[in-house]
Amino acid sequence: MVKKLSNTNYLHDISADPVAANERNRKYIDRFVSENYNGLVTKFSPLDGTINSSAFGALDKLNSTIISLYTDPNLHFADWEQANRYLSSKFTEKAIRVPVKKPVGNEVKEEKLE
């Protein structure tokens, strides 16, 4: 008999299904993460002792957010400036964040046509 592996840190099953990365944005997200990850870790580390209702600490949430950026099929950056602006706002405190609209596929095409 094979026993099902489980992670007792989670209250529910976590899907092990692989999710494809959005290759269109990969280079922009890779650049942003390589340039800013250490600063983001420094920023989020003081908050890591706080656990939210999903049992995530601040660094868990940071890494989860980065992964979700890679796998979001609706996110389409037209260029580095747009990507940097959106990604920077994504990791700014909500109280001081200037809202930046999520760039999706149709908007990128419209911007290029104008």
Average pLDDT value for residue range 27-41: 93
Q: 68 lies in a domain? A: yes
Check residues 39 and 9 and name the one with the higher pLDDT: 39
Q: 5 lies in a domain? A: no
- In eight-state DSSP terms, residue 103 is P
CB 70 within 8 A of CB 25: yes
Average pLDDT value for residue range 15-21: 74
What local confidence, expressed as pLDDT, does residue 113 receive? Answer: 38
Residue 36, phi then psi, degrees to nearest 5 = -120, -5
Give the number of domains in the chain: 1
Instruction: Read off the pTM.
Output: 0.65
Q: 30 lies in a domain? A: yes
- Nearest 5°: the CA angle 40, 97, 99 is 120
Q: 6 lies in a domain? A: no
What local confidence, expressed as pLDDT, does residue 110 receive? Answer: 42
Question: Each residue of 45-81: pLDDT tens digit?
Answer: 776 666 666 667 778 888 888 998 999 988 999 999 9
* SS3 (DSSP) at 39: helix
Q: 58 lies in a domain? A: yes
Owning domain of residue 70: 23-113
